[in-house]
Amino acid sequence: MLRFPANPTYGQVFIGARRTWVYRESFWDVMDDNDSNTVASTLTKNVITVGPVAPTGAIDSENTEFVLDHFPLTETLRVYYNGLLQKRGEIYDYTKDEKTISFLDPPHPGSTITVVYDRLSSIEVMGEVPDLDVCHCEGMAPKYHLDYLPETSSIMLYLNGLLKKINEDYTVNGNDITFTYVFPPEYFIVQVYYRVNL
List the domain boundaries for the chain: 8-34, 47-120, 129-197
Strand partners, 194: 125
The percentage of the chain sitting over the pLDDT mark of 70, rounded to a whole number, equals 80
Question: With left for phi above 0 and alpha for psi between -120 and 50, is residue 175 left, alpha or beta?
Answer: alpha
Taking only the tens place, the pLDDT of each residue in 124-138 is 888 888 989 878 788
pLDDT band at 2 (very low <50, low <70, confident <90, very high): low
| DSSP string of 88-152, one letter each residue | BSTTSSEEEETTEEEESSPPPTT--EEEEEEEEEEEEEEEE-PEEPTT--TTS--EEE-SS---G
pTM of the model: 0.58
pLDDT band at 63 (very low <50, low <70, confident <90, very high): very high
